[in-house]
Structure 1
Amino acid sequence: MNRTRAGLLAGAARAFADHGLRRSTMQSVAVAAGVAKATLYNHFRTKDEVARALLALELDRLSATAWALPTEQALSTLSDELGAHPVLRRLAETEPEVLTALLTTDRWAELTGRLAAALRIDADAAELAGRWLLGVVLQPGRSTTRHRHAARLSAVLGAAPVAPVAPVSPGAASG
């Protein structure tokens, strides 16, 4: 990613944290990035496009962070990052409906899939970890408490053997 685009996304993060997603404008993003609005439009056509690019960048960053760490430490780090993330904090406090829209069924599957890959866990474990991390976004609590919970969750994720699920044939009766 070039320096200009990185600066634009950093400005977008500041604008979204300061004003929320709905109240931010392309002008406020440009001002926060310290560029002319035309420069912003050279890279992004709409505010939604800026928000999608920022989300993708953050997901890549968090996935890379988690991938490099053991599960317990990855969960602790993710909980700290998500619990203190300025844009997520703003959305949780003032625009919960926007946050909810980010977690629609299709996006949730993508998020838990990325979490499964980053933590090297199966889909069910990723679903459990994802729901815990969503709770952190909504109610961060104290870092020390999150770290204790991350340790317990890591133990549960590591202790639960994954039983293979037999495929169900289309004509099988359910019981």
Structure 2
Amino acid sequence: MAEFAEALIQLDPTQESGRKVPLKIGSLLYTLHFRVSKDSVSSAVEPIGGSPEIEPGHSGLVQVVFLDRVLDPALEVGCQFYLYEGSVLIGKGELTRRWQGEFERKPNNLNPTIDEVRAWAYDEEAWLMDQDEDVILCRPRYISVLKELVLDQGCAENKRKEILKMLKLHGIS
């Protein structure tokens, strides 16, 4: 049995979160994290329904499946939470409903090529995917290219900083 929830979320404006593109529900396997307080343990969730697209600075309803087996006990109907993409705070929300049911996970087809990773790193405005880039890119197959890119002065400065933060976050030096 899977644990599901529905929440009303409010995305922070681009100036606060850095997110420039809308949150597109159901377009890809996508992981968000709910935290009841900024220093609490996060609960990973995968959006599965609700508002098809939520622009930065706007709100929408989203249904999610919890990916963690052990959930923060404070994640009950009515609780307020912070919404993160990886380690980046992108908004807040309120849990409006919880339930249990069967869930068949979509296959994860988010495997960018090394060339796609390089193209992303050199383009200041590019988004590699509508997904937690730090989770995808810190897979073992990408580590050597990330280490190379973080030292490359031709790489977009914002991407070099992001790559360095990703590597540190995952304990990679």
TM-score, shorter chain, exceeding 0.5: no
Larger radius of gyration: 1
Which of the two has greater strand per residue?
2
TM-score, normalising length: structure 2: 0.26
**Higher percent of residues as helix:** 1
